[in-house]
Amino acid sequence: MVADLHTHTNASPDSELSFRDRVALAAAAGIDTVALTDHMAVHDRLREPIETVDCTKVVSGVELNCSTAAARIDILGLFVDPGRMRERVGDRSVSDGATRRPPEMIEWIHDCGGAAMLAHPGRYDVDLASLVAELEMAGLDGIEVRYPYNEYTFVSSEMPEMPKTPIDRIETIRRDRDLLPSGGNDCHGGEKTYVGTVTIDDAWVTAIEARHHRYA
Ligand SMILES: [Zn+2]
């Protein structure tokens, strides 16, 4: 059983994949559990923190952007209550999170019953250990340690030379702080179609789901 806990649909402004296509794409790649983590949005087809659609488990998620003093970052909420998170994000545009701080975003996620994970930690040009320490104080639950950086380097000239922090260093930071591991492809469809480039196994999903029950 394999999972992808970071994907987008047309609930994000930069993806055209419908809910049905997203689920079908995951199923065709042999992915059993897929999280929909749209930018400041929760897909309106989602009703529960996790539900089964055509034999694929679909996790309700969200990707919230915010800023620290050092960087603009993204935080994933996994297993969020769709209705409650929809109320939080309302009709705010993607850029609105830029003026918000991580503690507020993590609080939104926890208030909506979700686990808060730092997205693609290798993208930030910062001292990652300091950033993670700051986020952990705000209640961060985990880190997205598996991410297809090499694919993004290939398609995007705006994000060269990734990851900025080596993968093994990211994993060491995570383990030292006993944060939950996660992973996903950040697939948007189109030229950013990375279904199955990285996968994670069920044990990681189970641990994140258990954490969500702490907040639900
Ligand atoms: Zn994303």
Question: Looking at residue 162, which CATH number applies to its domain?
Answer: 3.20.20.140
Residue 205: give the domain boundaries: 2-215
The whole-model pTM stands at: 0.93
Q: pLDDT category, 55, cuts 50, 70, 90?
A: very high
The three-class DSSP label of residue 74 is strand
Number of continuous H segments (helices) and E segments (strands) in the chain: 7, 9
Q: Is the peptide bond between 49 and the residue preceding it cis, with omega within 30 degrees of 0? A: no
Are the C-beta atoms of 94 and 65 separated by less than 8 Å?
Answer: yes
Q: How far is the CA of 177 from the centre of ligand 1 (A)?
A: 24
Instruction: Name the domain count of the chain.
Output: 1
pLDDT, average across residues 98-121? 94
Q: How far is the CA of 53 from the centre of ligand 1 (A)?
A: 21
pLDDT at position 31 over 80: yes
Express each pLDDT in 124-136 by its tens digit.
Answer: 999 999 999 999 9
Q: How far is the CA of 83 from the centre of ligand 1 (A)?
A: 20
Express each pLDDT in 150-178 by its tens digit.
Answer: 776 655 556 555 788 999 999 999 999 99
Q: How far is the CA of 118 from the centre of ligand 1 (A)?
A: 11
Q: How far is CA 64 from CA 43, 86, 111, 166, in A?
A: 14, 12, 14, 24
**What is the predicted pLDDT for the residue at 189?**
81
CA–CA dist 111, 117 (Å, integer) = 15
**What is the predicted pLDDT for the residue at 102?**
95
Q: How far is the CA of 210 from the centre of ligand 1 (A)?
A: 23
Q: How far is the CA of 10 from the centre of ligand 1 (A)?
A: 12
User: DSSP class of residue 126?
Assistant: S
Nearest CA-CA partner of 198 in 23, 56, 27, 2: 2
